[in-house]
A and B are shown apart, each in its own frame.
Chain A
């Protein structure tokens, strides 16, 4: 039964990701990404990490991708615009492939070699099936500085995107 859940949700995640990359219409791409995230959330749920599962849907599927969809809907793409879009570009394909290979090797390598950060659970991290309190307490004590730095990074990204896209009024 657990195996069924794992393989089912795993297949859903992979299928969603694959179709997201290959679909020509960006709007379909976003919807497939939602499917992929739902599968990922199911995997978290199967591991007993209900908090993570809820957050995965709440933040990514429920908020961020809605905004993606919002933007794409406003682009007002015509069907022939979509038809003319290439499904595959050599530069993007090679770049994506390289990044994927490096990431995959890093994860698998560190697990196999038993030296990397993935080999054993880092001390002080909450367990996988942690609830809100287990995540929140390190966030405001031991991991306070990284947490604040990340929020600063997000702020910088927001300011940057506003500065890049804001049109000067004549």
Chain B
């Protein structure tokens, strides 16, 4: 059942419950656009740092307002619609690419008492909605009616379908250990269980199931979000710009926003599933029940997620691009058997009571 966050900070207790919910939704909906603009800036600064350049540092302090300047440029650019395109689908595609990224934000558990919806099958719902993002790319590639865009769209759909399997199987290991599909429950299990009475049972530490699942998950996440080294759908050297080659102005920016929002959601999912979400060695229990606890937990969650976002950028500017057949071989012939075997081992561990919710 859907349970809304009924908890309301004391300071704001004069607000009616529904208004508080609306405020929660509003706050969460503000996150993706703000974060994406920061992330674009971070991407450029980090890439410059890795390549021993300076990067954008003119607009605002440390160049922080560069994204605002970029946005203004996007808005004022001419929206060129090429003559050969399927007009309706061409215009719908960027929105379809962006919406799943925004919607999945409502399912992420930022803190014990700060999430928009706390569904029993939250993990499944999150996978379900994020699996719709492929339509934007696919339709955008097809409606552009150009060969590079079409190849980009076809590549994206094949790649995302392939790696969704391993992504799901890796997450299933976490489900086995924590005994729940509810994201908040998963975090609670990870923060309350101990390994050898010492380490918190963050799934990444549960050897071998958790660690292997984490490696599979993070690699599949790169393929799912079309990031280097798996960015074949938009490989510049092969396809010009792939599925968004015919797009300009804000339509292009929406594709961009969708890609980065998906990246944030994937990072958040890695935090939640494998790194104990909002928990950090008992720090999440400080000032129990106050708004400060929620703020601390949200801070921990975001610190971990930002770390993963950094890893995304770091890897992009470190590794070269794979070849498409290598990507497919890796997915189907290495990761799929590996994740199936891992799931089997995890199931055994669970059955014999070495690990798991009841252990």
Residues of A that sit less than 8 Å from B by CB: 27, 31, 34, 48, 50-51, 53-58, 61-63, 66-67, 69-70, 73-74, 129, 131-132
Contact = CB atoms under 8 A, between A and B. Distances in A.
Given A66-B157, A74-B154, A58 B138 contact: no
A57 B129 contact: yes
A73 B124 contact: no
Contacts of B157: 66-67, 69-70
A147 B157 CA distance: 29
Q: Is the interface of A mostly helix, strand, loop or mixed?
A: helix
Interface string B103-130: 0000000000000000111001101110
Interface residues of B, number: 28
B132 A31 contact: no
A73 B142 CA distance: 7
B80 to A, nearest CB: 21
A62 B124 CA distance: 12
Contacts of B141: 73
A61 B96 CA distance: 13
Interface in B316-357: none
Contacts of B129: 57
B139 interface: yes
A66 B121 contact: no
A69 B132 CA distance: 13
Nearest to B165: A63
Interface string B135-157: 10011011000000010011001
A50 B125 contact: yes
A131 B131 contact: no
Contact of A58 (B1, B131, B135, B153): B131
Contacts of A55: 124, 128
Among A34, A48, A54, A61, max chain B CB count under 10 A is at A54
B286 interface: no
Given A50-B119, A54-B125, A70 B132 contact: no
A73 B135 contact: no
Contacts of B132: 57, 61-62
8 contacts: A34-B135, A50-B121, A54-B125, A55-B124, A61-B128, A62-B127, A66-B160, A70-B158
Interface of B: 1-2, 89, 119-121, 124-125, 127-129, 131-132, 134-135, 138-139, 141-142, 150, 153-154, 157-158, 160-161, 164, 181
B119 A58 contact: no
Nearest to A41: B128
Contacts of A70: 138, 154, 157-158, 161
The 3 closest A-B pairs by CB, nearest first: A62-B131, A57-B128, A54-B124
Contacts of B142: 27, 69, 73
Contact of B135 (A51, A66, A74): A66
A57 B154 contact: no
A50 B120 CA distance: 8
A58 B135 CA distance: 13
Contacts of A67: 157, 161
B286 to A, nearest CB: 33
A73 B86 CA distance: 13
Nearest to B131: A62
A131 B121 contact: yes
Given A51-B120, A67-B161, A73 B128 contact: no
A31 B153 CA distance: 15
